[in-house]
Amino acid sequence: MTKHWSTDRTEAFSDGVFAIAITLLVLDLHVPDDELTNLWAGIAAQWPSYLAFVTSFATIAGIWLVHHRLFAHMDFINSTVIRINLLLLLDVTFLPFPTRLMAQALNNEDAERAAVLFYGATLLASSLALAAVWRAVAGDHSLVASGGQDEGGELKVIGRAIVPGIGLYVLATGVALVDPAVGVWAYFFIALLLIVRVHNADGPAASS
Amino acid sequence: MTKHWSTDRTEAFSDGVFAIAITLLVLDLHVPDDELTNLWAGIAAQWPSYLAFVTSFATIAGIWLVHHRLFAHMDFINSTVIRINLLLLLDVTFLPFPTRLMAQALNNEDAERAAVLFYGATLLASSLALAAVWRAVAGDHSLVASGGQDEGGELKVIGRAIVPGIGLYVLATGVALVDPAVGVWAYFFIALLLIVRVHNADGPAASS
Amino acid sequence: MTKHWSTDRTEAFSDGVFAIAITLLVLDLHVPDDELTNLWAGIAAQWPSYLAFVTSFATIAGIWLVHHRLFAHMDFINSTVIRINLLLLLDVTFLPFPTRLMAQALNNEDAERAAVLFYGATLLASSLALAAVWRAVAGDHSLVASGGQDEGGELKVIGRAIVPGIGLYVLATGVALVDPAVGVWAYFFIALLLIVRVHNADGPAASS
Amino acid sequence: MTKHWSTDRTEAFSDGVFAIAITLLVLDLHVPDDELTNLWAGIAAQWPSYLAFVTSFATIAGIWLVHHRLFAHMDFINSTVIRINLLLLLDVTFLPFPTRLMAQALNNEDAERAAVLFYGATLLASSLALAAVWRAVAGDHSLVASGGQDEGGELKVIGRAIVPGIGLYVLATGVALVDPAVGVWAYFFIALLLIVRVHNADGPAASS
């Protein structure tokens, strides 16, 4: 039997990383000094930064919601889940870099496509990592005190929220190849969809 | 009946975001190298940065105090509250951007008004988001173990501390339209007022 | 009777602020690109930054140790302690600014004295805020479940570690007026002294 | 008998510092504006930054894993462990600086060796601090509720994961003296090795 730990510190460390990554995004929002003379125009001209900001915010928020529901279901954690979770955190800490790049490159014909695709690849990696954490949890029944009965099909509900994200990111990246600007909006709506779906109370899990 | 969770991780994640947003504000305080020769004057010349710093610090501190008291009252959290809380966090993570802009623009005739109004709009949004979290909590009696009896009128006391803030921010933004510098001070005093009112022990909640 | 809360979230929020402020200090350490050709010399030339870094690290670490011991003694928190604690956090979040300024100004005859005095004033303010938190705790016997008996003189032991710091900071600031470089070292040793004294197991508190 | 505390706040503060340090690393990833015209090449040209990023990420993740397992074993903490733990945190908060320096200096004949050795010295210091925390825990049997019986040889398992790291860092630093680029890869693999070894369930600790 493998060694088990309480999930407390993994939750605390993950919450710290999510909270910091989501808050660091704001450091890339700024208006150059020479646009102060017409500040409303200067603020408006930063729209690619805002789109990148809210898309990454929504993505990390969605990942946090899944993480929250998945870990609320677990009573213990094993070494495999801890390590795969670190891969997820690696992707989340990396996300501010492609976010910044995309904000830099939107409105720039040459760079836009590469930046959006690079951003999309990072999101795709995060959805794969999230699914891998979920699979590792589903694969060890002893992580749930009730013996992994998956009462109310909780794990199935979570899986149904995560897994389609992988396909959607592949699809949106195809769209981004053709039209990068549309691709960014697709990434934004995928994140919103995850936020809407993951904590939905319908299905067999709808019990107190 | 909708699904409920412990409030633990939402509190931890929110505390992380509040703590980081409040601490990142310091990154925008600095004295240019060429003002080192007369450093006291250089330090004093940064007053708009300090005013923006303490106003945003007091605002986030006030939001945290409300959040603290509201979540201390709750025993569980539902999906609606979790999601509206994310909107509040979005506003808080965004706040360092208008703070920085305002510090940049104070002392600059052209930009001052736009920067202060943009800052005020962000504060108004945060007070609306806070009120929305409060309403969502008040609307689900099952979040409180006692069945939502609101013993001691705790929710009413918290509501009385939050709701007037919305009107005050509208008012202060009117003032900022006429005189931006006075508007900033108004925002500062609204934040102080929230800090003074929210944790006041008077009223029906004044029990141990 | 005033309203009481669990100390949990105030500890979590404070720990967040302490952890972030102590970690942000590293952002001001860097070697200019043009010193890469002789990097060991370039690294060595940054000594004022390192001294500022470890002094601020030791200061925040010392404040955290006091905070840790004081809150370990408390069972509840009241509104007054929460608010005074926010003043302490305001000072701690501000500290990276004078730290950066001092690192910039050491080795600069004109600016050194002002920067060190400004830094010292921030440290003095933090020791005053810490003492104010301690007094507010000592003043409300109902914050300790045992009825504030101060078993083992725990509050006295903590007070004896904090209060002398105020005098020492005044003294060190006098030294900094005469010789700024010596003043910085004095601030460093005051922080070390706090770290050594606060968690000392001697005195009446030396029980398990 | 020396005074004991719950490990809660030391874990929370350490988790905060680990989470922030690991997330701040991303701030040093960026592509210069003038490389936007050929962005894929610009992204690829940043490989030294990515190598430095993942090496430092893996190192901090490994330290966190050891910390997690060691503190899960402890029921209490004493002043000595708290203080030595602060030394470990000092090293971790410092790590982003040599990481940045190494990313700057890779590809630069003059600076590469110095930067990699400076980085390696910081990693060596972290492995020494980690071993010192472990020794301080092993030296006070009263930190474990069971009276320090070290059931299952938990402390021995942790020690076997940490101690060889010291020798490996010395070795890798020797390699870095000869060939800095190979040295960086050695640091990366040492971190991976720690991640693989520390939470291994084999040995006497392999019980639930």
Per-residue pLDDT, C205: 39
Q: With pLDDT > 70 as the criterion, what percentage of chain A qualifies?
A: 91
pLDDT of residue B202 exceeding 60: no
Per-residue pLDDT, B4: 85
Per-residue pLDDT, A202: 45
Tens digit of each residue's pLDDT (9 = 90 or more) over C136-181? 999 888 888 776 566 668 888 899 889 999 999 999 999 999 999 9
- State both tokens at B69: 């008291």
pLDDT of residue D129 exceeding 90: yes
Distance from CA of D158 to the nearest CA of C (A): 26
CA–CA–CA angle A203, A208, B4 (5° rounding): 95
Q: A165-179 burial by CB neighbour count: b if 16+ within 10 A, else e? A: beebbeebbebbeee
User: Subunits that touch chain D (at least 3 Cβ pairs < 8 angstroms)?
Assistant: A, C
Q: Name the residue of chain A whose CA is nearest to D68's CA.
A: A9
Span B132-161, average pLDDT: 84
Q: D24 and C27 in contact by Cβ < 8 A? A: yes
Chain C interface, mutation test: which of D4, D8, D9, most C Cβ atoms within 10 Å?
Answer: D9
Find the CB nearest A199 among B9, B82, B104.
B82
Q: A208 and B1 in contact by Cβ < 8 A? A: yes
Per-residue pLDDT, A69: 92
The count of CB pairs under 8 A between chains A and D is 107
**B61 to chain C: which residues are within 8 Å by CB?**
86, 89-90
**What does pLDDT average to over chain A?**
90
**D52 to chain C: which residues are within 8 Å by CB?**
none
Predicted confidence band of residue B208 (pLDDT cuts 50, 70, 90): very low
Per-residue pLDDT, C204: 41
Q: B114 and A54 in contact by Cβ < 8 A? A: no
pLDDT of residue B189 exceeding 80: yes
Per-residue pLDDT, B107: 79
Per-residue pLDDT, A208: 35
Chain B interface, mutation test: which of C10, C13, C77, C112, most B Cβ atoms within 10 Å?
Answer: C13
Q: Could you tell me the CA-to-CA distances from C194 to B118, B151, C17, C197, D133 in Å, in that order?
A: 44, 44, 20, 5, 21
Q: C79 and B199 in contact by Cβ < 8 A? A: yes
**B69 to chain C: which residues are within 8 Å by CB?**
5
Per-residue pLDDT, A109: 83
Q: With pLDDT > 90 as the criterion, what percentage of chain D qualifies?
A: 72
Find the CB nearest A19 among B17, B78, B96.
B17
Query: Which letter does DSSP use for residue C148 in this model?
Result: S
Per-residue pLDDT, A150: 66
What are the residues whose beta carbons fall under 8 Å from the beta carbon of D168, sequence distance 6 or more?
D186, D190, D193
Kindly report the pTM of this predicted structure.
Answer: 0.93
Distance from CA of C1 to the nearest CA of B (A): 6
Q: How far is CA B165 from the centre of its chain?
A: 10
Predicted confidence band of residue D142 (pLDDT cuts 50, 70, 90): confident
Predicted confidence band of residue B205 (pLDDT cuts 50, 70, 90): very low
Span B153-161, average pLDDT: 88
Residue carrying the six token digits 């009241």: C78
Q: How many residues does chain B have?
A: 208
Q: B54 and C3 in contact by Cβ < 8 A? A: no
Q: A36 and B111 in contact by Cβ < 8 A? A: yes
Query: Which letter does DSSP use for residue D141 in this model?
Result: G
Provide residues of C within 8 Å CB-CB of chain D. Answer: 11-12, 15-16, 18-20, 22-27, 29-31, 33, 36-40, 43, 53-54, 57, 61, 64-65, 68-69, 71-72, 195, 199-201, 205-208
Q: How far apart are CA B61 and CA B65, in angstroms?
A: 6
User: Subunits that touch chain A (at least 3 Cβ pairs < 8 angstroms)?
Assistant: B, D
Per-residue pLDDT, B197: 86
Q: How far apart are CA D23 and CA D15, in angstroms?
A: 12
Distance from CA of A48 to the nearest CA of B (A): 15
What are the residues whose beta carbons fall under 8 Å from the beta carbon of D109, sequence distance 6 or more?
none
SS3 assignment, position C51: helix
Distance from CA of A30 to the nearest CA of B (A): 7
Per-residue pLDDT, C141: 86
- The 3 state secondary structure assigned to B140-157 is CHHHCCCCCCCHHHHHHH
**A3 to chain D: which residues are within 8 Å by CB?**
199, 201, 205-208
Q: C195 and D83 in contact by Cβ < 8 A? A: yes
Q: How far apart are CA B130 and CA B119, in angstroms?
A: 17
**D38 to chain A: which residues are within 8 Å by CB?**
110
Find the CB nearest D1 among C33, C72, C207.
C207
Tens digit of each residue's pLDDT (9 = 90 or more) over D80-104? 999 999 999 999 999 999 999 999 9
CA–CA–CA angle C61, C194, D8 (5° rounding): 45
**D90 to chain C: which residues are within 8 Å by CB?**
54, 57, 61
- The 3 state secondary structure assigned to D9-46 is HHHHHHHHHHHHHHHHHHHHCCCCHHHHHHHHHHHHCC
- Among the residue ranges A52-56, C86-90, C198-202, the one predicted with the least confidence is C198-202
Q: Exposed, middle or buried, C200 (CB in 10 Å: 0-12/13-18/19+)?
A: middle
Tens digit of each residue's pLDDT (9 = 90 or more) over C109-144? 889 999 999 999 999 999 999 999 999 999 888 888
pLDDT of residue C206 exceeding 70: no
- State both tokens at C149: 């008996």
Q: With pLDDT > 70 as the criterion, what percentage of chain D qualifies?
A: 91
Predicted confidence band of residue D106 (pLDDT cuts 50, 70, 90): confident
Q: B23 and C27 in contact by Cβ < 8 A? A: no
Q: How far apart are CA C129 and CA A96, in angstroms?
A: 36
Q: C97 and B33 in contact by Cβ < 8 A? A: no
Tens digit of each residue's pLDDT (9 = 90 or more) over B49-73? 999 999 999 999 999 999 999 999 9
Predicted confidence band of residue C84 (pLDDT cuts 50, 70, 90): very high
Find the CB nearest A12 among B12, B100, B105.
B12
Q: B195 and C83 in contact by Cβ < 8 A? A: yes
- The 3 state secondary structure assigned to chain B is CCCCECCHHHHHHHHHHHHHHHHHHHHHCCCCHHHHHHHHHHHHCCHHHHHHHHHHHHHHHHHHHHHHHHHHHCCCECHHHHHHHHHHHHHHHHCHHHHHHHHHHCCCHHHHHHHHHHHHHHHHHHHHHHHHHHHHHHCCHHHCCCCCCCHHHHHHHHHHHHHHHHHHHHHHHHHHHHCHHHHHHHHHHHHHHHHHHHCCCCHHHCCC
Q: B23 and C20 in contact by Cβ < 8 A? A: yes
**A25 to chain D: which residues are within 8 Å by CB?**
none
pLDDT of residue B2 exceeding 60: yes
Distance from CA of D149 to the nearest CA of C (A): 19
Dmax over Cα atoms in chain C, in whole Å? Answer: 68
pLDDT of residue B119 exceeding 70: yes
Q: Could you tell me the CA-to-CA distances from A164 to A120, A167, C65 in Å, in that order?
A: 15, 5, 47
Q: C5 and B72 in contact by Cβ < 8 A? A: yes
Q: Which of A180, A207, A202 is nearest to A114 (CA)?
A: A180
Beta partners for residue A77, in sequence order: A5
Span B139-153, average pLDDT: 76
pLDDT of residue D204 exceeding 50: no
**D118 to chain C: which residues are within 8 Å by CB?**
39, 43
CB A11 within 8 A of CB A86: no
Q: How far apart are CA D165 and CA D145, in angstroms?
A: 29
Span A122-128, average pLDDT: 97
Tens digit of each residue's pLDDT (9 = 90 or more) over A3-18? 788 998 999 999 999 9
Q: C37 and D100 in contact by Cβ < 8 A? A: no
Distance from CA of A169 to the nearest CA of B (A): 23
Residue carrying the six token digits 């901090």: D60
Per-residue pLDDT, C76: 93
Find the CB nearest C20 among D2, D12, D20.
D20
Find the CB nearest A17 among D19, D37, D201.
D19
Is D14 or B198 the better-scoring residue by pLDDT?
D14
Find the CB nearest B16 among A16, A39, A69.
A16
- The 3 state secondary structure assigned to chain A is CCCCECCHHHHHHHHHHHHHHHHHHHHHCCCCHHHHHHHHHHHHCCHHHHHHHHHHHHHHHHHHHHHHHHHHHCCCECHHHHHHHHHHHHHHHHCHHHHHHHHHHCCCHHHHHHHHHHHHHHHHHHHHHHHHHHHHHHCCHHHCCCCCCCHHHHHHHHHHHHHHHHHHHHHHHHHHHHCHHHHHHHHHHHHHHHHHHHCCCCHHHCCC
Span D41-49, average pLDDT: 92
Per-residue pLDDT, B199: 67
